[in-house]
């Protein structure tokens, strides 16, 4: 039961890609709510929500790929 190092590194890359989005998304959402009088409010809010959803999706893919690499699924 050896680990698949290629899949393990691919999963870690997914998690590394999700890490900045975990910080960027809430900061952008907070900024959108602080500037509600601005014309771009809804566009900035949508960008923040998309960043948060992409972070969750990349975390899901990363953990799924790591589990496949560890347990040779």
Per-residue tokens: 43: 């566009």
Distance in angstroms (rounded) separating the CA atoms of residues 51 and 47: 6
Domains of the chain by residue range: 5-71
Q: What is the DSSP letter of 34?
A: H
Q: pTM of the full predicted structure?
A: 0.88
Distance in angstroms (rounded) separating the CA atoms of residues 50 and 56: 10
Q: Which long-range contacts (CB under 8 A, 24 or more apart) does 46-49 make?
A: 48/24, 49/25
Contacts of 62 (CB under 8 A, 6+ apart): 11, 12, 13, 14, 15, 17, 18
pLDDT tens profile 4-57? 889 999 999 999 999 999 999 999 999 999 999 989 999 999 999 999 999 999
């Amino acid at each position: 039961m050896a680990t698949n190092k290629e899949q393990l590194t691919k999963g870690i890359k997914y998690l590394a890609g999700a890490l900045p989005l975990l910080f960027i998304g809430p900061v952008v959402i907070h900024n959108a709510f602080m500037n509600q009088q601005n014309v771009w409010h809804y566009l900035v809010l949508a960008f923040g929500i998309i960043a948060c959803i992409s972070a969750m999706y990349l975390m899901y893919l990363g953990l799924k790929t790591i589990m496949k690499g560890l347990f040779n699924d």
